[in-house]
């Protein structure tokens, strides 16, 4: 998710928050506070897409931050684990809820997705650039 930044660019975390639960009560003030401290982009966690069902407010939260706070939003902070990809594809909710565009960049690296699959015996033990073996 952060691979779009050049290796030479320093990335500084200026804030972290949870959404506050439905319907996202912290979104009215937290992104604006992060902007005051130098944030130039807001990343919404991958959990927006991992849950069952996916967050019904994901598009609203993205639009609010972009239009009211004035910062671009990226959906996803880490690769989507393979077990979540399999389950959501089986259920069909990503397609039904029209969030496939948000999921796609999180599932591009199939090795990383398998590495993050917590149902595997070797969970998080391999490098994403190496062959993953169960």
pLDDT digits (tens, 9 = 90+) for 55-114: 999 999 999 999 999 999 999 998 999 999 999 999 999 999 999 999 999 999 999 999
Q: pTM of the entire structure?
A: 0.81
Question: Which residue segment(s) compose the domain that 77 sits in?
Answer: 34-115
Do the domain assignments include residue 69?
yes
Number of domains in the chain: 1
Q: Please, which residues have CB within 8 angstroms of residue 35's CB and are 6 or more apart in sequence?
A: 69, 70, 71
CB-based burial label for 32 (10 Å; 0-12, 13-18, 19+): middle
Burial 57-94 (b: 16+ CB within 10 A, else e): bbeebbebbeeebeeebebbebbbbbbbbeebeeeebb
Do the domain assignments include residue 126?
no
Do the domain assignments include residue 132?
no
Do the domain assignments include residue 12?
no
Do the domain assignments include residue 55?
yes
> For residue 121, what are its two tokens?
């015996």
């Amino acid at each position: 998710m952060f691979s779009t930044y050049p290796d030479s660019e320093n990335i500084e975390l200026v804030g972290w928050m949870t959404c506050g639960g439905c319907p996202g009560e912290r979104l009215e003030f937290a992104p604006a506070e992060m902007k005051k401290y130098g944030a130039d982009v807001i990343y919404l966690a991958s959990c927006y897409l991992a849950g069952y069902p996916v967050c019904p407010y994901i598009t609203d939260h993205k639009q609010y931050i972009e239009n009211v706070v004035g910062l671009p939003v990226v959906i996803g902070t880490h690769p989507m684990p393979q077990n979540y990809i399999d389950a959501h594809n089986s259920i069909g909710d990503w397609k039904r809820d029209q969030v496939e565009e948000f999921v796609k960049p999180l599932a591009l690296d199939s090795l990383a997705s398998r590495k993050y699959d917590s149902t595997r015996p070797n969970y998080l033990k391999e490098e994403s650039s190496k062959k993953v073996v169960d």
